[in-house]
Structure 1
Amino acid sequence: MGRASIAYTNKDYESLRRELLARVPQLTDRWTDFNASDLGVVLLELFCGIGDMLAYYLDAQAAEAFLPTARQRQNVINLCKLISYRLDTPVAATTTLRFALAAPLDEDLVIPEGTACRARLDDGDVEFETAADAIIPSGRLSV
């Protein structure tokens, strides 16, 4: 018996199910019940589900092998190493904050490092944290 050609693009559940059910009569004439409740059909559908998942993961891994289609940062870093290009590490956003008082104080006001600050924006709040101590000197209104 000659082998049928394999369609490498039909890797989804429905295509696998259709092809496997069509192949059954070529393999045996004793399997005649193709109802969804038949144990053979149940097993065939389980294998199709597994095949669909494996095809998805194989396609995803193949996509990670090329820079334009890679989605995982570590894979992009590894691909860049092949051409001796080093990506910079991620850096948190920074900004300059201004702290102001309504009235001057008689003594210095220390704003400690790590003080949480929040900016209210139209699309949501943005939280910041001070990176260093700040001091509003006595008699001054802002720093």
Structure 2
Amino acid sequence: MMPLTFSQAGMELVFSGAMLFQIGLVQGMLIPKFKNSRMALSAHLSAVQSGMALMIFGIIWNLIELPSPWLGLTETALILSVYLIWLGITVSAVTGASKVLPIAGEGYAGSRASEQIVGVIEGMGVLLSVTSGAAILLSLALSLLV
């Protein structure tokens, strides 16, 4: 068996993923306590799945080849994106906000402020997720050409 070696960034991704995974497990126990339990289930699943994804990214991080400043920015954007998406869904589950996430939010409505807050959090999370995902995909695709 080949031993795994981790960069500092790889370990940070694994730790951040394990933390989010644990948060998701705890949140799963509390689903019935939320205003919108369907949305809380979505937040729980988002945390668990995104936590696992971060850990996988940490394991393969040594394969990502980007210029130095972009590598750090991509790592930070990746971590922030999944935490923001989870946070937005959780805020929605607590407040009943449903405009950004209408399927899980069906039958619920939050205050104007909570709807806007969830929209901003989710928008930032999605933007960071798409950006970091594109950078990682580009790096892996370019490594296939070499």
- Given the two structures, how large is their TM-score scaled by the length of structure 1? 0.28
Structure number, greater radius of gyration:
1
Q: Which has the higher contact order (CA 8 A, sep 6+)?
A: 2
Structure that is richer in helix per residue? 2
Structure that is richer in strand per residue? 1
- Given the two structures, how large is their TM-score scaled by the length of structure 2? 0.27
